[in-house]
Structure formats: structure tokens, C-alpha cells
Chain A
Amino acid sequence: MTTLNYINNGHGLASWLLTKDHKRIALLYLVSITAFFFLGGLFALMIRLELLTPAGDLMTAETYNKMFTMHGVVMVFFFLIPSIPAVLGNFLIPIMIGAKDLAFPRINLLSWYIYALGGLFTLFSALSGGVDTGWTFYTPYSTAAANSHVITAALGVFITGFSSILTGLNFIVTIHRMRAPGMTWFRLPLFVWSHYATSLIMILGTPVIAITVLLVAAERVLHMGIFDPALGGDPVLFQHMFWFYSHPAVYIMILPAMGVISEIVQAFARKNIFGYSFVAFSSLAIAIVGFFVWGHHIFVAGQSVYAGMIFSFLSFVVAIPSAIKVFNWTATIYRGSVSLDSPMLYAFGFIGLFTIGGLTGLFLAAMGLDIHVHDTYFIVAHFHYIMVGGAIMGYLGGMHYWWPKISGKLYSEGWAKLAAGMVFIGFNLTFFPQFLVGYLGMPRRYHMYPPEFQIFNVMSTAGATVLAAGYLLPMVYFTHSLFRGKPAPADPWGAKGLEWEIPSPPPTENFAISPIVTHGTHQYAPSKEVGVV
């Protein structure tokens, strides 16, 4: 009765832990990043509880410092960066290009083990007392002053960086060398284009953060002085090296989400993307220009005014390809035959929230205004609109869109719509007040604040509660669907693309016969029928 697919083809723990199948490795990542997501969420919960009242009454300042540091480290390095690439990218890229697997299946499995090892280091650092430097590990505090577990946390970041490098390497070689006959570059799904751009950042940026945190660890262990001003070193050099990776890292988080949104918008507006090549090349433009904007994190750290002006200008420039995408999605939806299934709700949420996050980013790119809002909650609100409102919305949208393909089961659409609504409302209630309170002058990273800011913080904490419930719901109905869900057909959404032409869940080999591609994968309707006048 049941046909052989990648899930039932082999049983037992070893068949999963030693698998070289990209689809199974994607599920290994799914389980581990979900665990880290809820761990990071737990730290966020502690932050929000402390900030419910103006007084520092729940925990000491030192504990609070550890809470926001662990929240940042876990969410950035162990959830957001691997999230879409390692789960959805791993699962879908070989299928979307008509290949049987990634180019290097063993390296793919190795990358998961490296990720797990880095995760263990970070968990050890959290459980043995935590680290309090902020996720940015700024020197000289992190090298000379901090009395917490900086070395294990830094090593965790260093190690897990290699899993990211190997994933990026695997994707680049796969997209170059494993495309099925006829799958030309301009027939690739936009999801693949955005992952190609992401992989470029992974391989070019991640080694730099690796050597940087290695130097921080070495400086602590060996008492070298590369970043220590007392020994002739320069702490601003650390900030340059750190942000050379960590600003592009934001694009590692957002570009894959943009790829997901490009797929969802076409499927649920039943139209081909408006301006395919513009959307494809804007991904590359974001990846390339994104490498030259890091200085906008250092406007007030002793960088020259001229350097500041150039970085400010380039930061405005990088907004252009992002805006191209937003306009093209909007033009795609325009006069489309839109159905409001749960993935599309997340896509709508993404477009709106990413627009707010992107536009407030322009506030910060302006040097004068940045001095006013630097290190305030305005910054916190801005990057949460990008990372949570953008990247996590995209991730959840993608999970809802491809869950029937991944699991072979249909989830409850009603519950999914409820969760999407809760996430959207909870998110805005959490983070919009932070724009206001930040603009009014509340600094980030303090465990107490003046009483006049309490109303904003109460709204934030209330919103975070709704948001947390909205994140827990998909856990419940996805898990429920595994046991009770109806079997999913090959193409439950009527969507286009190679992944929808094979059974749900796919067989281990992906394709019984290697496909020969004769047309672009996006062919929702002949263009004359939906021509925009």
C-alpha cells in the first residue's frame, strides 16, 4: 500500500544519524534548530519578564546581561543563519534543479555534526554560567574584562561557522554542476537564486568571523594584545572584522526568506513573478553590496567622517535591490488570482514587516539620525523587524508551503491561519512600541529603565506572550499532522516547479527518471492572460 519514500526507506537511529540523503539531513537540522529556537525564545522570555517593571527586580544586571547575550548568540548563530538554508534549502535545492542529491552528501552530513558540536560548546557555556559580552563579543571587554565563559561561547561560534561554510560550498557546487539537462540559469527557481547569493556570503564572510573570534579566544588564553588598547592594540579593528561578517550575516538570514516569498507569491497569486531577472539579480546585488556597508555599525566608534559618509551612502544603495524585490512581489500579486492560504498569509506578513524594517534601516543609515538612536531600542526594533518579521516569517511561510512535501501530510489549515494571525499581531505588539520607546531614548541592554517607559514595555511583553503562543501552535499541528494528517497529494497547492512533480514525500532518489527540463519552472499562466496594462 505505502510506497517507498525517503522517510520509510530505512529505520532506526543509525539510518538517520549516518544518512547521506539531503532530505533526511534537512530533517536533522529541522529538529536541532527548532530546539535552539525554543532555547533562544526562553532567554527572550526572561528578558521580557524582567522588563515588565521599571525596577531590576527579577534578576541582577549581571544575569540580565547573560540573558540577552545568550538570546543573541543562540538565535543568530544557531537558529537564524542555518534556518532556511539548512532545512528548506537542503531539502529543496537538489529537487528544484533536478538532481539526486547535493554535490557532496558526506560533507552535508558533516556540516550537521559540526553544527551540533558548536551547539554543544554554546550549551556548555550557557549551562556553566553563561556569557555576558553581548552577542557581538566587543573587545576589550570580551578579552580583558569579562569574567564569564567567553572562550567556550566564542569556540561554539567558531565551530558552527564551518558548518555554514560547508553548506554554502555545497550549494554553490551543486547549483553550478548538478543542474538537470535543460535547467539553464534563467530557468532556475528564484529560491535557488537567493540561496546562491546566500552561499556566496557564507563562503566569503564566515571565515572572517571565524578568525576574529579565534583571535578573541587566543587573546584571552595567551594574553596577546591584538585588540587590547592597553597593549597597543585597536578595539575598533575588532569591530571592523566582526561587522565585515555580521552585517552580511543579516543577508544570510533575509535572502533565503526572500527566495521563499518569491515562490509563495507566485503560487498563491497564480502568476509568474513580475520581472524574473530583476528579482534574481537583486539577490546577487544584495550579496555583493552588502559586503560594503559594515561601517554603519561603527558611526560613533571613532571611524573617520569620510569613511562614515561612504558607508552611509552604500547603506542607502543596498536598499535599492531590496526595494526592487518588494515592488516586484507587489506587482506579481496585482491582478493575480490570490488565495489566502496560510503560506500566503506569512508572505503578506513578510512583505509588510520587511518594508517597515527596511525603511527604518534607512533612518539608521543616515549618520546624523543614527547618533540619536544608536544603541537604543529603535535599533532593537529595526533588526527584529528584519530578523523576526522578515526571516522567521519567511521561514514559517516556507515551512507551511512545503510541509506537505516534506512530511507527506496535510496540516489543519484553520489552525495554521490562526497561528499566522497570532504571529503577526503578537510580533507587531512586541516590537512596534520598541521603535517609539527607543526614539524617546530608552537604551538597549539595561535591566531597569525610567518609569515613564513602562507602558511601552508592558505592551512589548504582552505581545511577546501572544507571539510565543503563535510559535508554539505550528509545533502542535505539524506534529499532529504527522500522525493524523491526511496524505498529501504530489501538488496540494496547484503550484509549479519540479518539487511538485514528484510524490509527497519524495522517494530517496528524488526522481525515478532524471528530468529533462524544457521550460522555466515558473509557468503559472501564459503571460498574455495576466498581462499588466
Chain B
Amino acid sequence: MSEGYSDAPTVGLPGRVSIQGPGTPHDGDSHAHHPKLQHHFDDMEQQAEASTLGMWVFLVTEIMFFGGLFLAYAVYRSQYPTGFQEASAHLNVTLGAFNTAVLIFSSLTMAFAVRAAQTGEKPRSQIIWIVLTMILGATFLVVKYFEYKDKFTHHTVPGPSFVWDGQYPAAAEIFYSLYFCMTGLHALHMIIGLGIMTWLAIMAKKGTFNSTYYTPVEVSGLYWHFVDIVWIFLFPLLYLIGRHYHAG
């Protein structure tokens, strides 16, 4: 490679070469380090960029993780179109729609939490937005609990005790297998999200976040929005495809 022999030093990151003369025993900013700067990063910008990219890459893996279930859904829905409609018609659309609204609203409060940290608002107002988001997330889970409980009382939980008096019991059982796998995995992600936000609230109370350091809130926000978006796909695919189904 001819470019490998260029004599002139090419410097990738702006602002670094000027402070790094030969013999400088350390690199990085000449002024005092930010207390939250980890030793292996050069500056806060590099650290923030690494964390954000890391979360985006993680979300890509999450898309592939849920993608396996969406693939199974697509295969069986095309194989059993009417069976899936029949099964879907038994889900409670009102509760599903309510939960959808709750999650969309929680994305808004999460966005405000990120903004509060970015603009360096007082810990109190950061905490308010975080706690509001947590309350909405918990509301979703409580509604989900009652929906699950209903499935157990009506024996539409897949397994030996599955009972279906419609025309397509086999397709319905597969539908409910996918329903529990998909919403269960989604709920697990919600619970993990609540755990993350508890930690954020504690950090915010200590006054950790300000305009120079807010990456944890920002990347947690990315995660929370992702979990919401998964539900935006789950709601129509699971709840709404049975709207036009009329038994018989």
C-alpha cells in the first residue's frame, strides 16, 4: 500500500496533536480530567461516542433476537391465516390499546428525562421524569399481569391443559405460544428497563448527571425507546389481526 509510506503524520482526532508533543508523559486534555472519564479513553467525547455506539450495536443484536420470533410468527401466520385471526380475536384489544398508549407516553417522559440530564437541570426534575417513566412502565406490567391471568383462567396457555373451542385449535395453540414468548420476552425487557431506571434515579439523586456527563441517561433512553418500538409491532400483529374475524 503506497499510502503506508506517507511521511506526514495524519492525525485522526482533532484537538489531540497540539497537546501531545514528544516527551509528554501522558495524553489527553491538558486541564484536569473529568471525574467520570475512564482511564482508557482520551476525552469525554470519545467515551460518550463509544457508549452510544455500543448501545446501538446492542440494539441491533436485540432486533435479531426478537427477529427469530417475528420470523416464526410470519411463517405460521402465512401457514394458518384464519386460525391466527380466530385466536387473535380472543385478545382484549382495549387493554392492548391502553398499554400501547401508556408505552408511547412513557417514551415521551423518557425523552424529557434525557433532556433534563443534558441541559443540566436540578436532580429533582431529572428524578421526576425518570420516576414518571417508571410508573408508566409499571402500569404496563400490571395490565399485562391481568391479561396473562385471564389466559390462565380461560386455559389458553399452551401446553397439556390448553383448551380451545374454536375451529382451529392447533393454530390457536401456536398463536398463543408465540404470544407468550413474544410478550413475555418484551415484558422481561421492561422489567430490566425498570431496574436500569432505578439505578438512574439513584445516580441522579447524587447529582451525577449534568451537561458534561449524561451518557447513561441517553443510552438508557435508547434502550427504553427500543422496547417501546417492539411493542408497537407486537400490538397490531397480535391484537388487531382478528378484528374482522367472525366465527363460522
Contacts and interface: CB of A to CB of B under 8 A. Distances in A.
Given A177-B53, A232-B170, A207 B12 contact: no
A211 B27 contact: no
A169 B174 contact: no
B86 interface: no
Interface string A498-519: 0000000000000011101111
A225 B9 CA distance: 62
B49 A177 contact: yes
B1 A203 contact: no
B3 A520 contact: yes
A519 B177 contact: no
Secondary structure at chain B's binding surface: helix, strand, loop or mixed? helix
Given A178-B50, A181-B16, A203-B57, A226 B72 contact: yes
Nearest to B48: A177
Contacts of B61: 165, 169, 203-204, 206-207
Contact of B67 (A183, A207, A517): A207
A518 B3 contact: no
A103 B53 CA distance: 10
A184 B177 CA distance: 49
B247 interface: no
Contact of A103 (B6, B7, B16, B50): B50
A525 to B, nearest CB: 11
B4 A173 contact: no
B64 A182 contact: no
Contacts of B20: 514, 516
A94 B90 CA distance: 55
Interface residues of A, number: 62
A187 B10 CA distance: 11
Contact of A205 (B4, B13, B42, B64): B64
Interface string B25-43: 1010000000000111010
Interface in B161-215: 170-171, 173-174, 177-178, 181
Contact of B71 (A186, A241, A526, A527): A241
B178 to A, nearest CB: 7
Contacts of B1: 186, 272, 276-277, 520, 522
Contacts of A272: 1, 4
Contact of A225 (B17, B40, B177): B177
Interface of B: 1-13, 16-17, 20, 24-25, 27, 38-40, 42, 46, 49-50, 53-54, 57-58, 60-62, 64-69, 71-72, 75-76, 79-80, 158-160, 170-171, 173-174, 177-178, 181
Given A183-B12, A207-B62, 9 more contacts: A104-B54, A177-B53, A181-B9, A182-B9, A222-B158, A226-B76, A233-B174, A272-B4, A527-B2
